[in-house]
């Protein structure tokens, strides 16, 4: 069972990013003592810390995940580490993405082991088993599937490093695999999709009937809490989504309706969309970063979101964590879109690279 006393000290890397910041805030509000590990505190986190008056606590430790010594210092005295730092930049070089996602994870593992940490929880990704093919109710027994996409392939290598880690201490490890994460402060994939919908560029591939694998960041934060010090999760990996069969059309409609934008009605055959995606992906590396950003909606990641059936089972997480009390997709998306305030503001937001966040 999860540690009923709470009150433990937990370090959260990538605490300036979407996942890390929500996990840090959630754990503090649940009575944990949180060490927010990051390079520079964002304004929203500083406000949270300055106004926090809950039963737990939260403080900042400045450290770069590429600096193993700084991480060891940050992890000293903590009982668990939630490693949420990483690069999701679709325009980063393969070398830089692997350096952050694989090298940074290895640094965090070694630093946590050296600091005597009891439990290391890694935020992986469902992209490690997605590949580019359709998935239907896939569970954790599915093989890891490299797809040539730098982010997904780096997560495969990082997750493998975590699950195979054998340190000098008795540190336990767990990997959580969320799908496409949405929630307040999401500024990576959602602004791109919102802009595509608002400007009439979005299209329903094969009618938009295939499933998506989204997860509300609040549900992920809750899953992290349920994982910490839970002996059933030691040495295990878990798929995580909202646990609902949401189609691509339902996702697009929810965003359009929530921001008073026209619903997507354009349709394109999947075979044609895949051909365009593969063609653009092949030529994109030779273009400037600015031009690559303009082609983001044709990336492999965008194709997965819009065209690939992403059906994953969360039954294992429901049984072991237990991951049963979740915010429904409709409610989570409403709270997310409320942070954009207006469609004009949503359309004006420039997507972030997602470097050193999640």
Burial classification of residue 324, based on how many CB atoms lie within 10 Å of its CB (0-12 exposed, 13-18 middle, 19 or more buried) = exposed
- In three-state secondary structure terms, 328 is coil
Q: Tell me the mean pLDDT in the region 33-56.
A: 91
pLDDT for residue 5 is more than 50: no
Fill in the DSSP letter of residue 312: E
In the block, residue with structure tokens 């070398």 = 95
Domain positions in the chain are: 9-186+212-244+312-326
Residue 103, helix vs strand vs coil: helix
Q: If one looks up domain 9-186+212-244+312-326 in CATH, what number appears?
A: 3.40.50.720
- Environment class of 18 (CB within 10 Å of its CB; exposed 0-12, middle 13-18, buried 19+): buried
Specify whether the CB–CB gap between 26 and 95 falls below 8 A: no
pLDDT score of 341: 67
State pLDDT tens for residues 234-263. 999 999 999 999 999 999 999 999 999 999
Per-residue pLDDT band at 222 (split at 50, 70, 90): very high
Q: Summarize pLDDT for 150-172 with one digit per residue, the tens.
A: 899 999 999 999 999 998 789 99
For the chain, first and last CA: distance in Å? Answer: 27
Q: Are 87 and 15 in contact (CB under 8 A)?
A: no
**8 Å CB contact between 155 and 98:** no
Q: What is the pTM of this model?
A: 0.92
Residue 99 is given by DSSP the state I
d(CA 306, CA 247) in angstroms, rounded, equals 9
């Amino acid at each position: 069972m999860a540690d009923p006393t709470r009150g433990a000290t937990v370090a959260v890397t990538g605490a300036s990013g979407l996942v890390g910041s929500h996990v840090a805030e959630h754990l503090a509000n649940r009575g944990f003592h949180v060490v927010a590990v990051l390079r520079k505190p964002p304004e929203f986190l500083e406000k949270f810390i300055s106004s926090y008056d809950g039963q737990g606590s939260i403080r900042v430790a400045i450290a770069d995940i590429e600096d193993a010594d700084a991480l060891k210092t940050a992890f000293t005295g903590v009982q668990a580490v939630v490693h949420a730092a990483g690069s999701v930049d679709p325009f980063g070089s393969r070398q830089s993405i692997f350096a952050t996602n694989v090298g940074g994870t290895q640094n965090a593992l070694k630093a946590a082991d050296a600091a005597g940490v009891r439990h290391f929880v890694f935020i992986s990704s469902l992209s490690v088993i997605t590949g580019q093919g359709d998935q239907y109710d896939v569970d954790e027994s599915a093989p890891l599937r490299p797809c040539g996409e730098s982010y997904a392939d780096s997560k495969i290598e990082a997750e493998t490093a975590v699950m195979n880690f054998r340190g000098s201490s008795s540190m336990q490890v767990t990997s959580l695999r969320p799908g496409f994460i949405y929630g307040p402060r999401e500024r990576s994939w959602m602004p791109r999709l919102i802009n595509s919908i608002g400007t009439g560029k979005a299209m329903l591939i094969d009618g938009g009937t295939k499933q998506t694998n989204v997860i509300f960041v609040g549900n992920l934060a809750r899953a992290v809490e349920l994982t910490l010090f839970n002996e059933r999760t030691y040495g295990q990996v878990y798929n995580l989504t909202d646990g609902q069969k949401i189609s691509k059309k339902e996702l697009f409609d929810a965003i359009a309706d929530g921001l008073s934008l026209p619903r997507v009605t354009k349709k394109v055959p999947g075979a044609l969309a895949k051909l365009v995606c593969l063609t653009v992906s092949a030529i994109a590396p030779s273009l400037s970063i600015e031009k690559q950003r303009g082609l983001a909606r044709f990336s492999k990641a965008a194709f997965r979101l819009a065209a690939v059936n992403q059906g994953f089972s969360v039954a294992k997480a429901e049984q072991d964590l237990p991951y049963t009390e979740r915010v429904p997709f409709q409610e989570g998306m409403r709270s997310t879109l409320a942070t954009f305030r207006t469609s004009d503001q949503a359309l004006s937001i420039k997507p972030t690279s997602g470097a050193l966040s999640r």
